[in-house]
């Protein structure tokens, strides 16, 4: 599992940063990618990345400002051209369905796959299966905006092979059943419960991706105990009043959120184009003063999220 940043700029693209889009690589976990936001030019960014559009399963939109959604119509149609034939689900605020369907209709687009659009009307769990859960909460921005908390469920512990060998259990199908936590009966009549032969469960990972927001309780709620928090940092601390006026966050706001929520790593993105070259390190230093494990994202940068041991 890793995060791949396709665009890390705010408002409009610059020569150094495209507008917002992030890919969560779940190839090892479920053979797919999940995208978060899809600003203009996202499909072009994908061409220069390891992300496979045809294997994208879900797209989560935080809000409907153009720098987060204007890349959707082109990306959805290109997915057809690239052999994407599996269903795709979009999640986002009310209005997403009208935006997408209107763009596809007036352009005469034809999709070769089933497109599901889920408009969010409330906070809470929006997706859950046997391996993942996705929860959302409202943030504080000029228009309705959501953040997403992706929770990987705990994995079963390793099978204690040596313990089984000591009991004379032969490797093979019986090991597989015990690994599933099932109860088996040996030829000599002994009964073994698989739960007794599994190590401690492997904790799942938690990734939180926020949309545009100023410092708020909704962000901290989602970020509690996260392995990784992705938070906007449009401005440096000396632009605090400007950030607040436009419902954006500073690098200090992002770091406060991570620190108070107990998040392990903070990744800052959605950076104003006023920060170029060496000046961008100002944002990083401000955040690290509060939350030491802080990073600045850049386009085509990958952040690995290892399993907990």
Q: What is the pLDDT of residues 194-215, one digit of tens each?
A: 888 888 888 999 999 999 999 9
285 annotated to bind ligand: no
Residue 143's CB: how many other CB atoms inside 10 A? 12
Long-range contacts of 277-280 (CB under 8 A, 24+ apart): none
Burial track 224-258 (b if 16+ CB lie within 10 A, e otherwise)? eebbbbbbbbbbbbebbeebbeebbbbbbbbbbbb
pLDDT category of residue 189 using cuts at 50, 70 and 90: confident
Active-site residue identified among 37, 67, 227, 253: 67
Burial track 267-278 (b if 16+ CB lie within 10 A, e otherwise)? bbbbbbeebeee
pLDDT higher for 187 or 293? 293
212 annotated to bind ligand: yes
Q: Are strands 265-269 and 228-232 parallel, antiparallel or unpaired?
A: parallel
- Residue 166's pLDDT is 83
In contact, 199 and 133? CB cutoff 8 Å: no
Q: Which domains does the chain carry?
A: 2-155+202-303 (3.60.15.10), 161-197 (no CATH)
Q: Which of 53-67, 159-173, 243-257, 294-308 has the lowest mean pLDDT?
A: 159-173
- Residue 179's pLDDT is 80
**Residues ≥6 apart with Cβ < 8 Å to 204:** 151, 152, 153, 154, 155
67 annotated to bind ligand: yes
291 annotated to bind ligand: no
Residues in the chain: 309
β partners of residue 149? 135, 208
CA 82, CA 209: separation in Å to the nearest integer? 27
253 annotated to bind ligand: no
48 annotated to bind ligand: no
- Residue 268's pLDDT is 98
Q: What is the pLDDT of residues 76-92, one digit of tens each?
A: 999 999 888 999 999 99
If we measure between CA atoms, which residue out of 178, 182, 152, 168 comes closest to residue 307? Answer: 152
0.85 exceeded by pTM:
yes
Expressed in angstroms, the distance from the first to the final Cα of the chain is 15
State the average pLDDT for the chain: 94
- In this structure, what are the phi and psi dihedrals at residue 154, rounded to the nearest 5 degrees? -60, 140
Active site includes 67?
yes
Q: What is the pLDDT of residues 263-292, one digit of tens each?
A: 999 999 999 999 988 889 999 999 999 999
63 annotated to bind ligand: yes
The yes-or-no verdict on residue 137 having pLDDT over 80 is yes
Q: What is the pLDDT of residues 10-36, one digit of tens each?
A: 999 999 999 999 999 999 999 999 999
Helix 96-106 with 72-81: angle, nearest 10 deg: 60
């Amino acid at each position: 599992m890793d995060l791949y940043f396709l665009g890390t700029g705010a408002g409009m693209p610059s020569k150094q940063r495209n507008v917002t889009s992030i890919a969560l690589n779940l190839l090892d976990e479920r053979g797919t990618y999940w995208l978060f936001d899809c600003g203009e030019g996202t499909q072009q960014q994908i061409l220069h990345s390891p992300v496979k559009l045809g294997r994208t399963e879900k797209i989560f939109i935080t809000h409907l400002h153009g720098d987060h959604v204007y890349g959707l119509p082109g990306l959805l149609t290109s997915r057809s051209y690239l052999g994407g034939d599996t269903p795709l689900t979009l999640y986002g605020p009310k209005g997403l369905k009208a935006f997408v369907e209107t763009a596809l209709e007036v352009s005469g687009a034809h999709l070769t796959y089933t497109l599901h659009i889920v408009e969010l009307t409330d906070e809470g769990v929006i997706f859950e299966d046997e391996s993942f859960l996705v929860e959302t909460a409202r943030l504080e921005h000029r228009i309705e905006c959501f953040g997403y908390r992706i929770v990987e469920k705990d994995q079963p512990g390793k099978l204690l092979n040596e313990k089984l060998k000591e009991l004379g259990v032969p490797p093979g199908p019986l090991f597989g059943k015990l690994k599933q936590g099932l109860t088996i009966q040996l030829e000599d009549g002994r009964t073994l419960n698989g739960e007794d032969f599994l190590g401690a469960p492997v904790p799942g990972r938690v990734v939180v991706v926020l949309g545009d927001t100023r410092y708020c309780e909704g962000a901290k709620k989602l970020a509690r105990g996260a392995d990784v928090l992705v938070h906007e940092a449009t401005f440096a601390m000396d632009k605090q009043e400007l950030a607040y006026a436009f419902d954006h966050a500073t690098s200090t706001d992002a770091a406060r959120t991570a620190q108070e929520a107990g998040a392990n790593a903070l990744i800052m993105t959605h950076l104003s184009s006023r920060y170029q070259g060496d000046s961008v390190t100002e944002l990083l230093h401000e955040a690290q003063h509060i939350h030491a494990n802080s990073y600045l994202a850049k386009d085509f940068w990958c952040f690995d999220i290892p399993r907990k041991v």
